[in-house]
Amino acid sequence: MFRLRTLVICFLFGGLLTGCPNRPVETLSAAEGALADAELARKCAPDEFAAAERMYAKAQKLADEEKYDEAETAALAAKKLAVKAQQKALARKDDCEAPKVDPNNDVSEFVDNSGDKGLGDGDSGGMKTVYFDYNAHELTEQAQGTLAANAAWMKANPTARVVIEGHCDNRGSTEYNLALGEKRARVVRKYLSNWGIDSGRLSIVSYGEEQPLAGGEDEGAHARNRRAEFRVKR
């Protein structure tokens, strides 16, 4: 609170008081950033991390006391300590972050070593995303308009094959949303084939709530996530 007030005062009177503009804001925030980046060190190099935190606190205190030169030096030191702590933490990472497996209830046979990886890629070509109402897989008028345009693009690009991805917002259960995303993708495929697109060019996949476009818990974010997206393979 005190620092905030100082900042505000500096901002207001920055032109008048020569001391204020010298507060090493950038160096301080660089030190703060380095501390934030050293999150692993909090656990894996706790002593080094604590030293960096102490130095940063000292830099802040000096700055609050308007000892700006000393504050700058301390902030630089804090940043250096934080970076060092993180390096140390990374070196120790394997020991420190290794999952602690209960030796009497060995889970190793459940650990998947198959090395399989995740998802496919692709761009959306000229296909525009369509959106759905909450817990619904019926097409709104707006969605129907978008799909008519998408059908036109597919007719203009007759070699393009399209994967329709059904998505949901993050409310509701993981499994139910996979089913709902599937219903959305199916409705879109049906609509496109009604527009004369060969259904052999259309495949579907549901991602449920697994691939949100927008973060956050507000209705705006939810509405952007309830969608069918298109991935074009040529």
Among 110, 196, 218, 220, binds other proteins (CB under 8 A): 110
- Applying the rule CB under 8 A, the residues between 187 and 206 that interact with other proteins are 204-206
Distances (CA, A) of 203 to 8, 80, 121, 157, 186: 57, 53, 15, 16, 9
Nearest to 203 by CA among 195, 192, 194, 211: 192
Does 5 sit near other proteins (CB under 8 A)? no
Among 4, 16, 119, 156, binds other proteins (CB under 8 A): 119
Stretch that binds other proteins, among 24-32, 77-85, 105-113, 125-133 (CB under 8 A): 105-113
Nearest to 151 by CA among 132, 126, 131: 126
End-to-end C-alpha distance for the chain, whole angstroms: 58
Does 103 sit near other proteins (CB under 8 A)? yes
Task: List, edge to edge, every strand of the sheet that includes 202-208.
Answer: 130-131, 227-233, 161-167, 202-208
Does 120 sit near other proteins (CB under 8 A)? yes
Q: How far is the CB of 230 from other proteins (least distance, A)?
A: 16
Q: Which spans of this chain sit near other proteins (rule: CB under 8 A)? A: 99-105, 107-114, 116-120, 135, 171-176, 178-180, 182-183, 186, 204-208, 210-211
